[in-house]
Amino acid sequence: MIAPVRWEDGGLVLLDQTKLPTEEVERAYTSWPDVADAIRTLVVRGAPAIGVAAAFGVVLAARASRATTHAALLADLEEAIKGLAATRPTAVNLFWALDRMRRVVVADADVPPARLRDRLLDEAQAILSEDLAANRAMGAHGATLVPDGARLLTHCNAGALATAGYGTALGVIRAAHERGKLAMVWVDETRPVMQGSRLTAWELVKEGIPHRLISDVAAGFVMKRGEVDLVVTGADRIAANGDTANKIGTYSVAVLARHHGIPFYVAAPSSTIDPSIPSGDTIVIEERDAAEVRGVAGRQTAPAASPVFNPAFDVTPAALISAIITERGVFRPPSARSPRRGRASPPTATPPAPAGITTAPRTRPSRCARAATCSTGRPSRCPSRSIPPSSRSGSRPISPRWPSTRSPRSRPPIRTRPRRRSISSAWPGSSSSPRASPGSRRTRAARRSTSAPPPPPARSTRPRCTWWPARSRGSIPVSIISVRATSA
């Protein structure tokens, strides 16, 4: 198994990801400033892996400290925590893990420093093993969304390398492959640091999972050719409303997926959810060195004098995300639709908005906006015809009263009945199936029966499609992002 971060012989061992795919080099770390440097320079990268490495950085700081009192140890650790937190700003797992480590010390002032050092090591080990378990659970949940014979596209590396092992998005890929559901994986190379080609492709080769590497700019073309059935990516931070920060280019892929009616899924552990921010607007986006854009693999490919903008991440609005896969199940943000290939719903088939959520009234365009340039020459065949322009651009209005702003305790989340195939789960709370066309008898009947109470939750051993979890593990109170399903 690929283990990018591990504790061995009193030190931290990292697989140097800057050397992949050509060299497999492991490096040992015995001081927290060196660990901070490894995080900053991408020796270890990927949101969960950064969190695990930082936790062991705190262990190293505790071991290096000569403090004999609780207060002195805490002071030394605060310095290390500050230094480790300053390495990368976007992935919330880093701050989540550091906070968890700090609480071990803060929790009990009566514990002697020697025992606290042991407890810190236990906590870092727990963060590592919980992440591994979360990834396997996520893989199992996510695999239910993968149709048989699927051609899946992924961006960046959300694999074993980016986590304690197994991976988030790549965990879903591994699980789907193990179940024989996957035909192949399209791998975006992921400019400018090439995590897709250097790392994801490396993992897939190691696992013998069929894949094809594409340049980022080819993603739209393979989607247009009908060769992508679903997209799964990882996440660096998920806001309370479901907006998701991930590797630069993820937003573009999500827009392309929506345009082509392809489901776009995000796989991330609960530790990636940041309920303290209501939306993605306030996520700090790391900007990296201009040299990453001015060159490829150390070779200059642009004038040294050219000014560069190099954001390492972007934010995909929740409205473009079909579902978020966590270790606790599959969650469908109310603003997202789950488009089915070639069957994007016209405005009249929009799922009913949850009570309290207002969406702007939409009218079907009387004429396709692209009629003049339509390549099909047959408006009835136009691939964009049935998708309202607001959805295509990802600008579907979401009410500022998204349920993250209301108390989750006011009403418990409603769990939806598990479906035979999660990919075609009806909009939660809706009595109509997404398979039904807007004018079909099933849909009309469903509309007539909107006053009927939602079906009771069914008992099942399959992962349930629910709303956000009532509580997360660790310190982040995910309950504040609980949302309730529409009662239609």
Question: Using CA atoms, how far apart are residues 45 and 39, in angstroms rounded to an integer?
Answer: 6
* Closest CB to ligand MRU among residues 199, 485: 199
185 forms beta bridges with: 152, 211
Residue selected from 59, 101, 162, 321 as contacting ligand MRU according to rule CB under 6 A: 162
14 binds ligand MRU (CB under 6 A): no
Question: Using CA atoms, how far apart are residues 230 and 348, in angstroms rounded to an integer?
Answer: 24
Distance between the two ends of the chain, CA-based, in angstroms? 47
Residue selected from 43, 47, 73, 97 as contacting ligand MRU according to rule CB under 6 A: 47
Question: Using CA atoms, how far apart are residues 444 and 32, in angstroms rounded to an integer?
Answer: 63
Alpha helix (H) residue ranges in 86-227: 92-107, 113-143, 169-178, 201-207, 219-224
* Closest CB to ligand MRU among residues 162, 344: 162
Q: Interface residues for ligand MRU in 324-383 (CB under 6 A)?
A: none
- Tokens 């994801």 map to which residue? 200
Q: Would you call 42 helix, strand, or coil by DSSP? A: coil
State in angstroms the smallest separation of the CB of 251 from ligand MRU: 12
* Closest CB to ligand MRU among residues 195, 466: 195
Q: Would you call 369 helix, strand, or coil by DSSP? A: coil
Residue selected from 52, 54, 73, 91 as contacting ligand MRU according to rule CB under 6 A: 91
Residue selected from 174, 247, 260, 385 as contacting ligand MRU according to rule CB under 6 A: 247
* Closest CB to ligand MRU among residues 162, 446: 162
89 binds ligand MRU (CB under 6 A): no
Q: Which two tokens stand for residue 77?
A: 């650790």
Residue selected from 87, 168, 271, 345 as contacting ligand MRU according to rule CB under 6 A: 168
Q: Which residues fall within 8 angstroms of residue 322, CB to CB, at 6 or more apart?
A: 263, 264, 265, 332, 336, 337, 338, 339
Residue selected from 20, 29, 43, 45 as contacting ligand MRU according to rule CB under 6 A: 45
* Closest CB to ligand MRU among residues 174, 396: 174
Stretch that binds ligand MRU, among 43-51, 216-224, 320-328, 373-381 (CB under 6 A): 43-51
Strands of the 273-274 sheet, one edge to the other: 273-274, 237-239, 244-247, 313-316
Stretch that binds ligand MRU, among 115-123, 158-166, 343-351, 376-384 (CB under 6 A): 158-166
* Closest CB to ligand MRU among residues 94, 344: 94
Which residue sits closest to ligand MRU, CB atoms considered? 234
Stretch that binds ligand MRU, among 24-32, 155-163, 215-223, 350-358 (CB under 6 A): 155-163
Q: Do the beta carbons of residue 189 and residue 213 sit within 8 Å?
A: yes
246 binds ligand MRU (CB under 6 A): yes
Question: Using CA atoms, how far apart are residues 350 and 454, in angstroms rounded to an integer?
Answer: 18
Q: Reply yes or no: is the peptide bond before residue 21 cis, omega within 30 of 0.
A: yes
Q: Do the beta carbons of residue 185 and residue 176 sit within 8 Å?
A: no
Stretch that binds ligand MRU, among 39-47, 54-62, 352-360, 472-480 (CB under 6 A): 39-47
Which of 64, 87, 434 is closest to 284 using CA atoms? 87
156 binds ligand MRU (CB under 6 A): yes
Q: Which two tokens stand for residue 178?
A: 């193990």
Q: Among this protein's residues, is 236 annotated catalytic?
A: yes
State in angstroms the smallest separation of the CB of 227 from ligand MRU: 22
The CB density around residue 402, as the number of other CB atoms within 10 Å, is 24
Residue selected from 195, 322, 345, 416 as contacting ligand MRU according to rule CB under 6 A: 195
Question: Using CA atoms, how far apart are residues 404 and 318, in angstroms rounded to an integer?
Answer: 12
Question: Using CA atoms, how far apart are residues 342 and 324, in angstroms rounded to an integer?
Answer: 22
* Closest CB to ligand MRU among residues 121, 238: 238
Question: Using CA atoms, how far apart are residues 26 and 170, in angstroms rounded to an integer?
Answer: 22
**Residue in 131, 188, 236, 314 annotated catalytic:** 236
With CB under 6 A, what is the number of residues at the site for ligand MRU? 17
Residue selected from 52, 62, 73, 158 as contacting ligand MRU according to rule CB under 6 A: 158
236 binds ligand MRU (CB under 6 A): yes
* Closest CB to ligand MRU among residues 249, 334: 249
Question: Using CA atoms, how far apart are residues 382 and 179, in angstroms rounded to an integer?
Answer: 35
Which of 243, 322, 247, 251 is closest to 278 using CA atoms? 243
Q: Which residues fall within 8 angstroms of residue 203, CB to CB, at 6 or more apart?
A: 2, 157, 159, 160, 161, 167, 170
Stretch that binds ligand MRU, among 41-49, 139-147, 276-284, 380-388 (CB under 6 A): 41-49
192 binds ligand MRU (CB under 6 A): no
73 binds ligand MRU (CB under 6 A): no
Stretch that binds ligand MRU, among 162-170, 291-299, 383-391, 423-431 (CB under 6 A): 162-170
Residue selected from 255, 312, 336, 398 as contacting ligand MRU according to rule CB under 6 A: 312
Question: Using CA atoms, how far apart are residues 54 and 380, in angstroms rounded to an integer?
Answer: 55
Catalytic residue numbers?
Answer: 236
Using CB under 6 A as the criterion, which residues of the chain lie in contact with ligand MRU when the complex forms? 45-48, 91, 156, 158, 162-163, 168, 195, 234-236, 246-247, 312
